[in-house]
Structure 1
């Protein structure tokens, strides 16, 4: 947990730095309203609730703001809405109809083999507008690339950026549209340019610690993006590895038959295979990637099953 004042952030802001299964959560405490930006993954919902309650005490949480609707950023929405019945929830507009209908295929949860309990929304985060969080106006900027509907939030007073997965200290999130045949590397580049134009002094990323060396992070991100543009197959293989590691982080251990069933029932894996590895069978491709995780020390396997390490 990061104290806002200690990190050069607004004094009424608290960052809950989470493990990789959940996104970071940012709590803003104002005189009239409290707000939480992003809510982590569903299996960590109890921890998310405990973190919020430890900071707010008897005060209620008044608002959720989601930067985008990947399961690790909105998986705690439902639990928080149940805990705080009057809770308002703002989401980017691009997938509002899918949330209203609860189209899990359109929302990517089923496609990626991940979990997100149904939640409701009450408002939209329109890029080009401001939203008041913790009593201060934060600018809402579109940040496509990792997700076509993602937004980032910027406080011009403190020059603090909540970057979600558009910029990390050592890179950015997977360009998911690119994997589906929708060019997004250019969107990623434009988002990095927008961040540079905003000139933040400190960045709260979707994953990892708060950082101040923004120029260095942008240089690293652009270098990585150039590499992915030269070798999109490498990006695709990395995406498979990330999705598999995410599943291991979620379950911690899984029987071999259950693992193979999950591989077969996760459409996004086969979509990536068919686009980038058409000559390979899905089970063989997944086996090769799992071997890479094992060699890297990120997983273990024996006759009883596969375990996260």
Structure 2
């Protein structure tokens, strides 16, 4: 497959699955502000900063934007703000108060059992707004579904879409409102329809490589969505395994008993078990079955009492 060519001044830091991708936007003419879209997970913050420093040399980073506030997309915000004191940070509307008060329940960090150091904000990414970043003029579009407050960034002259977790080459992110009993599958479909109307030529997903086969990717996402709508329990099982794998990615190795104890006290696992898997036995037995699924799939390995990330 031929390498995807990005517009001048656009650099993609494709990250592993614990962190979201980071998109660096610079203006070769030196007029538009230098910006980074999404900052990865907090345990990768040193690497995120190193990637930026290597790309920028001694130049400053002026803007930081988050497509949404899940921990793998904004966990590096605090470190970047500390390193670049004049950094202007903008987030989607809807959670500004939760950030200012640092309500880690409302921000999903406590319910998911994930980490995110406290950061500040300076502005909002309002849907319908157009902003200059690097050499591009970017439209902000609401993209609820995976996260009710998420936004897309679209540069129409380039046909370049920053999709966050609304569209990957092979699907989209866990639909978190559905885990809480709120309807959101329809919003996922509406966001896919929006992407189709924008007709991007190139998509930067929150995870995975940039891709230009946008039509087939939308078809795959819609088929995946249809499967989840027809079988919500299938989506719930997928979500539970994603959350468990995320913690294993974060820690790399942990005693199996400790991982299961973490799952039992993590609110999202409690909710998923109560809503969808109460018939699978007690929550500890259900958690054990999830671990076995990860082992069978090759996503984890067992070494004595330890579980290892694979």
TM-score by structure 2 length?
Answer: 0.96
Deviations 1:43-66 (A, max 9, x none): 000000000011100001111000
The answer to whether the Cα contact below 8 Å between 2:49 and 2:80 also exists between their aligned partners in 1 is yes
Name structure 2 gaps, 5 residues minimum: none
Q: How far is the alpha carbon of 1:255 from its aligned partner?
A: 1.7
Query: Distance in 2 between the 1:130 and 1:174 partners?
Result: 28
Asked if 1:234 corresponds to 2:231, the answer is no
Name structure 1 gaps, 5 residues minimum: 1-5
Asked if 1:212 corresponds to 2:209, the answer is no
Q: 3-state DSSP class of the match of 2:15? A: coil
1:10 paired residue among 7, 29, 37: 7
The answer to whether the Cα contact below 8 Å between 1:263 and 1:286 also exists between their aligned partners in 2 is yes
Deviations 1:267-302 (A, max 9, x none): 111111111112331111111111010011111224
Deviations 1:113-146 (A, max 9, x none): 1100000000000011112110321000000000
The answer to whether the Cα contact below 8 Å between 1:40 and 1:73 also exists between their aligned partners in 2 is yes
Query: Distance in 2 between the 1:257 and 1:213 partners?
Result: 43
Q: 3-state DSSP class of the match of 2:110? A: coil
The answer to whether the Cα contact below 8 Å between 1:9 and 1:158 also exists between their aligned partners in 2 is no
Deviations 1:126-179 (A, max 9, x none): 011112110321000000000000000000010100000000000000111011
1:19 paired residue among 16, 20, 34: 16
Q: How is 1:1-309 mapped onto 2 (pairs within 5 angstroms)?
A: 7-30=4-27, 31-32=30-31, 33-279=33-279, 280-309=281-310
The answer to whether the Cα contact below 8 Å between 2:179 and 2:268 also exists between their aligned partners in 1 is no
Instruction: Give RMSD over aligned pairs.
Output: 1.0
The answer to whether the Cα contact below 8 Å between 1:35 and 1:134 also exists between their aligned partners in 2 is yes
Q: How far is the alpha carbon of 1:9 from its aligned partner?
A: 2.5
Q: 3-state DSSP class of the match of 1:94? A: coil
Q: How far is the alpha carbon of 1:108 from its aligned partner?
A: 0.5
Matched length: 304
